Amino acid sequence: MSGGVTNGSLLTWASLGGGPAVLGDVLRLLRTRKVRITRVLYLMQSEDMPLPTESDLGAITLERILVPLADPTHHRVIHDAVRDRILPRLRSLDGVLHVNVSSGTPAMHAVWLVLHAGGALPMGTLLWSAQRLRTGQTRIDPVDFPIDTYLAEIRRGATARPKEAHFDPASRSARRRQALDTLARYARLPRAPLLVLGERGTGKTRLVETFVGPLKNRPKVITVTCGTLDPHLAMSMLFGHVRGAFTGAERDRKGFIEEAAGGVLFLDEVQDLERPVQRQLVRTLQDPERRFRRVGEAQERNADVEVVCASHLSFEALRKRLDPDLFDRLSLLLVEIPPLRDCREDLRDDWTRVWAEARSLEELSPEAPWSAAIERALKGDPLPGNLRDLQRLALILMARGSTAPSVSGAEEGLLEWTALQARFHAAERKGATATNGLGTGAWDGRVRAFKRRLARAARREHGSYVAAAKALGVSERMLREHAKKEKE
Ligand SMILES: Nc1ncnc2c1ncn2[C@@H]1O[C@H](COP(=O)(O)OP(=O)(O)OP(=O)(O)O)[C@@H](O)[C@H]1O
SS (H, E, C) 171-240: CCCHHHHHHHHHHHHHHCCCCCCEEEEECCCCCHHHHHHHHHHHHCCCCCEEEEEHHHCCCCCHHHHHHC
- The helix/strand count (H/E) of the chain reads as 21, 13
User: What is the pLDDT, as a whole number, of residue 389?
Assistant: 94
Q: How far is the CA of 165 from the centre of ligand 1 (A)?
A: 10
Q: How far is the CA of 345 from the centre of ligand 1 (A)?
A: 18
Does residue 440 carry a pLDDT above 50?
A: yes
- Residue 487 pLDDT class (50, 70, 90 cuts): very low
Q: How far is the CA of 117 from the centre of ligand 1 (A)?
A: 33
Task: Tell me the C-alpha distance between 20 and 280, whole Å.
Answer: 53
Q: How far is the CA of 123 from the centre of ligand 1 (A)?
A: 41
Contact criterion met (CB below 8 Å) for 260 and 279: no
Task: Tell me the C-alpha distance between 72 and 405, whole Å.
Answer: 55
pLDDT, one tens digit per residue, over 74-123 is 999 999 999 999 999 998 888 899 999 998 899 999 999 999 887 789 88
Task: Tell me the C-alpha distance between 234 and 227, whole Å.
Answer: 10
Q: What percent of the chain has pLDDT over 70?
A: 87
Which among 96, 94, 31 has a CA at the least distance from the CA of 57?
31
Other CB atoms closer than 10 Å to residue 82's CB: what's the count? 21
* C-beta of 167 in contact with ligand 1 (< 6 A): yes
Task: Tell me the C-alpha distance between 269 and 238, whole Å.
Answer: 14
Instruction: Tell me which amino acid residue 240 is.
Output: G
Q: How far is the CA of 362 from the centre of ligand 1 (A)?
A: 22
Mean pLDDT across 454-462? 82
Task: Tell me the C-alpha distance between 8 and 11, whole Å.
Answer: 10
Instruction: Tell me which amino acid residue 131 is.
Output: Q
User: Cα torsion at 85, 90, 91, 92 (round to 10°)?
Assistant: 110
* C-beta of 201 in contact with ligand 1 (< 6 A): yes
More confident residue, 276 or 444: 276
Which residue's alpha carbon is nearest to atom 1 within ligand 1?
A: 167
Which residue's alpha carbon is nearest to atom 14 within ligand 1?
A: 201
User: What is the pLDDT, as a whole number, of residue 1?
Assistant: 42
- Using most ligand atoms within 8 A of CB, pick from 271, 387, 424 the residue to mutate for ligand 1: 387
> Which ligand 1 atom is nearest residue 357's CA?
4
**50: DSSP letter:** P
Dihedral sign, Cα of residue 253, residue 255, residue 258, residue 264:
positive
pLDDT, one tens digit per residue, over 85-97 is 999 999 888 889 9
For the chain, the C-alpha Rg in angstroms (whole number) is 30
pLDDT, one tens digit per residue, over 2-34 is 446 678 999 999 987 667 778 989 999 999 988
**266: DSSP letter:** E
* C-beta of 384 in contact with ligand 1 (< 6 A): no
Instruction: Tell me which amino acid residue 197 is.
Output: L
- Residue 255 pLDDT class (50, 70, 90 cuts): very high
**486: DSSP letter:** S
More confident residue, 412 or 238: 238
User: What is the pLDDT, as a whole number, of residue 270?
Assistant: 96
Does residue 67 carry a pLDDT above 90?
A: yes
Of 153-157, 184-188, 293-297, 304-308, the least confident: 153-157
* C-beta of 200 in contact with ligand 1 (< 6 A): yes
Same fold, 6-145 and 150-337: yes
Which residue's alpha carbon is nearest to atom 23 within ligand 1?
A: 201
Does residue 162 carry a pLDDT above 50?
A: no
Q: How far is the CA of 214 from the centre of ligand 1 (A)?
A: 18
Mean pLDDT across 28-57? 91
| In this structure, CATH architecture of domain 6-145 | 3-Layer(aba) Sandwich (3.40)
- Using most ligand atoms within 8 A of CB, pick from 200, 206, 349, 354 the residue to mutate for ligand 1: 206
User: What is the pLDDT, as a whole number, of residue 328?
Assistant: 95
> Which ligand 1 atom is nearest residue 166's CA?
1
* C-beta of 198 in contact with ligand 1 (< 6 A): yes
* C-beta of 415 in contact with ligand 1 (< 6 A): no
- Residue 403 pLDDT class (50, 70, 90 cuts): low
User: Model's pTM, two decimal places?
Assistant: 0.59
**127: DSSP letter:** E
User: What is the pLDDT, as a whole number, of residue 479?
Assistant: 86
Residue 69 burial (10 A CB sphere; 0-12, 13-18, 19+): buried
- Using most ligand atoms within 8 A of CB, pick from 164, 205, 340, 391 the residue to mutate for ligand 1: 205
Ranges of each domain in the chain: 6-145, 150-337, 340-434, 443-484
- Residue 39 pLDDT class (50, 70, 90 cuts): very high
CATH superfamily membership of 150-337: P-loop containing nucleotide triphosphate hydrolases (3.40.50.300)
208 φ, ψ (degrees, to nearest 5): -70, -45
> Which ligand 1 atom is nearest residue 209's CA?
18
Q: What percent of the chain has pLDDT over 90?
A: 44
* C-beta of 159 in contact with ligand 1 (< 6 A): no
Mean pLDDT across 241-247? 85
Q: How far is the CA of 344 from the centre of ligand 1 (A)?
A: 17
pLDDT, one tens digit per residue, over 310-329 is 999 999 999 999 999 999 99
> ipTM score here?
0.95
Q: How far is the CA of 75 from the centre of ligand 1 (A)?
A: 40
* E strand or H helix that includes residue 313: none
Does residue 408 carry a pLDDT above 70?
A: no
User: Cα torsion at 219, 222, 226, 227 (round to 10°)?
Assistant: 100
Contact criterion met (CB below 8 Å) for 238 and 259: no
Task: Tell me the C-alpha distance between 146 and 48, whole Å.
Answer: 36
3-state secondary structure of 319: helix
Q: How far is the CA of 330 from the centre of ligand 1 (A)?
A: 22
Task: Give DSSP secondary structure letters for 377-402.
Answer: HHHHS--TTTHHHHHHHHHHHHHH-S
Mean of per-residue pLDDT scores for the chain:
85
Q: How far is the CA of 232 from the centre of ligand 1 (A)?
A: 29
Task: Tell me the C-alpha distance between 12 and 102, whole Å.
Answer: 8
Which residue's alpha carbon is nearest to atom 26 within ligand 1?
A: 200
* C-beta of 205 in contact with ligand 1 (< 6 A): yes
Does residue 351 carry a pLDDT above 50?
A: yes
Contact criterion met (CB below 8 Å) for 34 and 4: yes
Task: Tell me the C-alpha distance between 345 and 178, whole Å.
Answer: 14
Q: Are strands 334-337 and 291-292 parallel, antiparallel or unpaired?
A: unpaired
